């Protein structure tokens, strides 16, 4: 069971208040009409799905109902950080690999 | 290969069962193979078996980083059925069902396939409309199925609470009499033994670390234990780790890996002689031959490779089962575990060529791959042998995520594994 710090509520709350929404920082193509089938398919469906550091979008469903990001290790499940939409992650897979 | 029979059992009893032949060899790998299968689970072993048996390609190796059948094959809840909605998937799963029906004889290995029937419950008018539609679609595809009302369901499962007093009363169900369960480990072992006897090398405790790719064509597999092994073709059947292996070959897949949990109770006297599943309350249960209730439900919502999930998911699972079977409230749970399932956006598998020539992927079976084990192995073997995807596998190409020809089986896949 995760104890997740919502960056908006600034409180550690139980996992059941939250819902994971998959990979974060996916940018919707600015002009979908101009996309090729390949670009549009890649945007909709293709994911990094890494074994290790993953930046993912979560929703504080039974709380402030805001979306935010978590940097989490998908192997150990350790939560490295949480941060607001619009912010950049402090922890990346390259930095973890260096250590 | 030593043939198994009742007489053999008797004969070996005379020598206290001390002279049984080893079930498979532990071979030294060759420098090169016609086909290398990555992943020694049910699907990978079935692929190797059918390659050797049906398509005459015996210079085959199966590379497994752990032990045979130790991943999702050992962790699933063993349900077999073929009542899928769309033609493409119905044909594929029915192909598998037909192979299941003769599998123990074919393998000379008892996979304990028991056609005890599968119930998919409906708890709302919309559920019942969907069930009617799906059963009609199944019958048009010559797959057995019936729509039952609550009274008929009660007759089949007397211990389930089908009264109108529940919060989610049972309104009816779809019933596939040919569905059932099989012994998961025996499936892996039977295919492994059969493949080994036909000359396939099963290389265990050997992890794949990369591919040797020349001009966009795969020519070998880099392993941690045996260096680079050359291969004419490579079939990758690694379920939850598909995304990681695809990354080694330099492309992405439309998959996300999630933990899926299951649990079993202490063994109890026979109480449930069929499989009950409900998409609505979201849980399913059957009883194994040993007597334990085998219970499962949905995936954990986050991505993960840790082969374990969260407690809230277990709680939801158990509360769903108690909604159906209040009588199980005093049953104690014995074990709980998690496997890593590779879920696809349309809840259908991927059996496909890839951007790398001669590298084929069979993945994305998500939460319900066990039932497809023989069928998946058979059509994937046919595709590897020919170099072209088998007609049953062709609709499940990766291309569908660019063309838009998705096969949306979220309804029929539901909670049911």
* ipTM rounded to 2 decimals: 0.93
- A chain contacts of residue B311, beta-carbon cutoff 8 Å: 1
Mean pLDDT, all residues of chain B: 95
Of B69, B399, B136, B128, the C-alpha closest to B279 is: B128
Local confidence band at A92 (pLDDT 50, 70, 90 cut-offs): confident
Distance CA B319, CA B348 (A): 28
Local confidence band at B178 (pLDDT 50, 70, 90 cut-offs): very high
pLDDT tens, residue by residue, A12-62 = 999 999 999 999 999 999 999 999 999 999 999 999 999 999 999 999 999
E-strand stretches of B215-346? 217-223, 228-236, 256-265, 275-278, 283-287, 293-299, 333-343
Residue A79 Cα, gap to closest chain B Cα (Å): 12
Local confidence band at B73 (pLDDT 50, 70, 90 cut-offs): very high
Chain B CB within 8 Å of residue A74 CB: yes
CB contact under 8 A, B303 and A46: no
Local confidence band at B338 (pLDDT 50, 70, 90 cut-offs): very high
pLDDT (mean) for A57-84: 97
CB contact under 8 A, A49 and B303: yes
Higher pLDDT, B76 or B412: B76
CB B117 within 8 A of CB B180: yes
Local confidence band at B72 (pLDDT 50, 70, 90 cut-offs): very high
Residue A58 Cα, gap to closest chain B Cα (Å): 9
The pLDDT of residue A1 is above 90:
no
Local confidence band at B336 (pLDDT 50, 70, 90 cut-offs): very high
**pLDDT score for B157:** 97
Select from B247, B302, B315 the residue whose CB has the most chain A CBs within 10 Å, as the one to mutate to test that interface. Answer: B302
Residue B150 Cα, gap to closest chain A Cα (Å): 33
**pLDDT score for A99:** 58
CB contact under 8 A, A47 and B310: no
**pLDDT score for B389:** 97
User: Residues of B near A (CB-CB distance < 8 A)?
Assistant: 241, 243-244, 247, 252-257, 301-306, 310-312, 345, 401-404
**pLDDT score for B415:** 60
The pLDDT of residue B182 is above 80:
yes
Of B309, B366, B335, the C-alpha closest to A15 is: B309
Backbone angles phi, psi at B184, to 5 degrees: -60, -45
The pLDDT of residue B142 is above 90:
yes
Of B39, B50, B143, B52, the C-alpha closest to B376 is: B50
Closest Cβ–Cβ partner in A16, A45, A77 for B304: A77
Stretch among B4-18, B103-117, B401-415 having the lowest mean pLDDT: B401-415
The pLDDT of residue B64 is above 90:
yes
Helix (H) or strand (E) holding B402: helix B400-403
**pLDDT score for B154:** 97
């Amino acid at each position: 069971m995760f104890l997740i710090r919502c960056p908006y509520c600034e409180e550690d709350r139980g996992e059941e208040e939250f819902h994971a929404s998959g990979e974060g920082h996916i940018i919707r193509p600015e002009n979908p009409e101009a996309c090729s089938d390949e670009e549009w398919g890649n945007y909709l469906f293709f994911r990094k799905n890494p074994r290790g550091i993953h930046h993912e979008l979560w929703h504080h469903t039974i709380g402030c109902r805001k979306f935010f990001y978590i940097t989490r290790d998908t192997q150990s499940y350790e939560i490295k950080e949480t941060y607001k939409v619009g912010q950049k992650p402090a922890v990346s897979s390259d930095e973890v690999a260096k250590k | 290969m030593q043939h198994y029979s009742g007489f053999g059992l008797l004969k070996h009893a005379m020598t206290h069962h001390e002279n049984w032949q080893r079930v498979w060899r532990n071979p030294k790998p060759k420098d090169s193979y016609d086909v290398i299968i990555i992943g020694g689970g049910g699907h990978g072993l079935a692929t190797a078996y059918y390659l050797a048996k049906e398509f005459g390609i015996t210079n085959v190796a199966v590379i497994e980083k752990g032990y045979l059948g130790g991943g999702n094959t050992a962790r699933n809840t063993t349900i077999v059925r073929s009542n899928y909605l769309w033609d493409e998937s119905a044909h594929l799963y029915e192909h598998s069902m037909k192979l299941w029906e003769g599998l123990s004889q074919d393998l000379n290995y008892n996979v304990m396939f028991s056609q005890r029937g599968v119930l998919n419950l409906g708890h709302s008018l919309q559920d019942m409309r969907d069930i009617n539609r799906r059963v009609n679609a199944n019958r048009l595809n010559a797959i057995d199925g019936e729509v039952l009302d609550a009274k008929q369901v009660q007759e089949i499962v007397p211990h389930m609470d089908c009264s109108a007093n529940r919060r989610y009363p049972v309104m009816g169900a779809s019933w596939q009499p040919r569905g059932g369960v099989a012994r998961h480990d025996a499936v892996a072992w039977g295919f492994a033994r059969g493949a080994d006897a036909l000359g396939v090398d099963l290389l265990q405790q050997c992890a794949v670390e990369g591919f040797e790719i020349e001009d966009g064509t795969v020519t070998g597999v880099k392993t941690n234990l045996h260096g680079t092994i050359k291969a004419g073709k490579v079939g990758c059947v690694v379920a939850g780790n598909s995304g990681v292996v695809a990354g080694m070959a330099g492309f992405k897949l439309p998959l996300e890996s999630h933990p899926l949990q299951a649990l079993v109770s202490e063994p109890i006297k026979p109480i449930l002689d069929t499989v009950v599943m409900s998409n609505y309350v979201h849980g399913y249960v059957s009883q194994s031959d040993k007597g334990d209730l085998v219970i499962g439900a949905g995936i954990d919502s986050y991505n993960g490779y840790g082969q374990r999930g969260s407690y809230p998911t277990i709680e939801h699972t158990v509360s769903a089962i108690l909604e159906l079977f209040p009588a199980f409230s005093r049953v104690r749970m014995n074990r709980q575990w998690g496997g890593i399932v590779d879920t696809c956006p349309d809840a259908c598998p991927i059996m496909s060529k890839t951007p790398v020539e001669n590298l084929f992927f069979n993945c994305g079976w998500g939460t319900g791959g066990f039932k497809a084990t023989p069928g998946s192995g058979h059509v994937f073997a046919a595709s590897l042998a020919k170099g072209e995807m088998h007609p049953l596998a062709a609709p499940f190409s990766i291309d569908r995520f660019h063309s838009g020809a998705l096969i949306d089986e979220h309804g029929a896949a539901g909670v049911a594994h």
